[in-house]
Structure 1
Amino acid sequence: MTDESALLAAEDELWRANREGDGGFYAKNLRDDALVVSKYGVASKEIIVATIGANRNPYVKTVLSDQRVLFITSDSALVTYKADVTALVAGKEVEFSVLASTVYARENDQWRGVLHQQSAL
């Protein structure tokens, strides 16, 4: 598997874990200093793992498109894309789209998330 395909697969797995409320996956695959920036503010790894695990507004469908990988160094990369999301909010399906970016760092041969940012469309 190439580094590019490994990064795209890692991003797909983060969205799968989000849909399934798998906070443990995030705990394993984010660096301890990881951050998420979204319309809700800036969140630490601790908050991210707890929020995903609580799964209060579960994502039932996520479709990623226009994916690009930019290598910053041989051990750091930026993945950008559009995500079309269907979530359950108060029992009703809500659809929305975001532009997203994730910065990854390779540590001990594993790509780990450092920063994830989303901008609503």
Structure 2
Amino acid sequence: MEVISIVNRKIHSVKPESTIQEASDLMTKENIGAVLVMKDDIIRGILTEKDILKAIQKNIPLNSSVKKILHEEIIQVDPYVSVEKAAKIMIEKDIRRLPVISNGACIGIITMKDIVKSLLR
């Protein structure tokens, strides 16, 4: 089975200038654990709930921009990679989400939860 068959095409994103609070509010509203940080339709990073919690622990103000705490290294996957390979990447890199990139554009995100659900079908 390929990633394209289970990818979640709904992309939630914020701009690098968005505040940590705005990103947190979006995650809460959409019941998601991460948002992509995008500028000019290009992924600049990813921001997770864990990143926000670390920022709070470090007393970084929630009105600071997300660019202060985002992960700039984007680990991504092609839509035609096998789900098994995507899972291996997640395990090796200790991550739970992978942006799915096709022809330079993000077409969605695949999560570990998506992979588990696909295996249970």
Do the two structures share a fold, i.e. TM-score over 0.5? no
Q: Which structure features the higher share of strand residues?
A: 1
Which is greater in Rg? 2
TM-score (norm 2): 0.28
Q: Which structure features the higher share of helix residues?
A: 2
